[in-house]
Amino acid sequence: MTENELKTLLKTVTPPNKAARAAAHAHWAALAKPLGGLGRLETMVEDAAALMGTETPNLANRAVLVLCADNGVVAQGVSQTDASVTRAVLENLAARRTSVCRMAAAAHCAVVPVDMGIAGTPVAGVINCRVALGTADFTQGPAMSRAQAVQSIACGIELVQAQKRQGVQMLATGEMGIGNTTTSSAVASVLLGRPVQEMAGRGAGLSDEGLRRKIDAIRRGIVVNRPDAADPLGVLAALGGFDIAGLCGVFLGGALENVPILMDGFISGVAALCAVRLCPAAAKAVFASHVSSEPAARLVLEELDKKPLITANLHLGEGTGAVASLPLWDMALAVYNGCYSFAEGGITPYTPQC
């Protein structure tokens, strides 16, 4: 896919279905409970109905896409560990032994590990979407070319299309890549126009000195590459990672295919921000799960105008926060599909008092 082909494709994203949203809202209002009593659990079902074009969204079949990639900026000492940990975690994802795998099993969710570009040879049992063996060090020049950014986005779109063909109705987003809180902080700093020190956190547990190196590396990367916030694809190519670009494609794929995409934490939030900057209509497919303890996570959510379901200081990654929200979806839909109505209970319906 070329950049122009991507732009043309994104013009086909349709707006949410207002009739389906209104029907879902009316259905909630008919149930025997206080109006709006389940708060965001109600509005998220209405948003899903509008996205999917049906009053009765079925979200029983779901999967978490865990996109993995290595980042050249790790050479600047921005992380506790080296790139070998990306491979180790990917191998354990393939063996279904990581944190998100155990949580997904409890939430009746499939785990789909994807190699977007890690160092070394491919890992067995993983979808191969390799763009390159990791990105370049963005303190020395662009992390990737624009063509590689488009390739990564196209892979994300194709992942959604493939999952939909297999009957998956909802996708959670996850990632793994040593150094990817650095790349996401860099992208967010430019797109939000905020100082680097506001956007960069300790990631997996950096020391004070490690955090200083991280902030310095991001600043140097911005100076070297001079990214333009009005060109989100260029920002992604200059400072991002293959995992972030792939996740950007997943959100865009959700908008194209009308599949709800659950945003995880800060990193997938930055990917969602890239998607919405590329295609504002793609916001309809973005569903927030939690607010990460990373410093800039709340700023990204506010920019996207998305409200988190969970506030629990999560910052593990892998899609754990997105998967943790799935039981809330199940409970919301259990009430939506199974609660008795005012009419069935012989109760006078509530009416709005304000």
Which residues are known catalytic residues?
Answer: 318
Q: How far is CA 59 from CA 2, 55, 98, 235, 337, in A?
A: 33, 12, 24, 34, 12
* Pair 94, 123: CB distance under 8 Å: yes
Distance, CA of 335 to CA of 332 (rounded, Å): 5
Residue written as token pair 């020190």: 197
Q: Which of 281, 239, 289, 294 is nearest to 262 (CA)?
A: 289
Residue written as token pair 């839909």: 333
The two three-digit tokens of residue 43, written as one number: 């509005």
Amino acid at 354: C
Q: Which of 43, 29, 23 is nearest to 328 (CA)?
A: 43
Distance, CA of 288 to CA of 263 (rounded, Å): 5
The angle subtended at Cα 346 by Cα 342 and Cα 351, nearest 5°, is: 40
First-to-last alpha carbon distance for the chain, in angstroms, is 51
Distance, CA of 214 to CA of 207 (rounded, Å): 10
Cβ neighbours, 10 Å, residue 97: 11
Reduced to 3 states, what is the DSSP secondary structure of residue 116?
strand
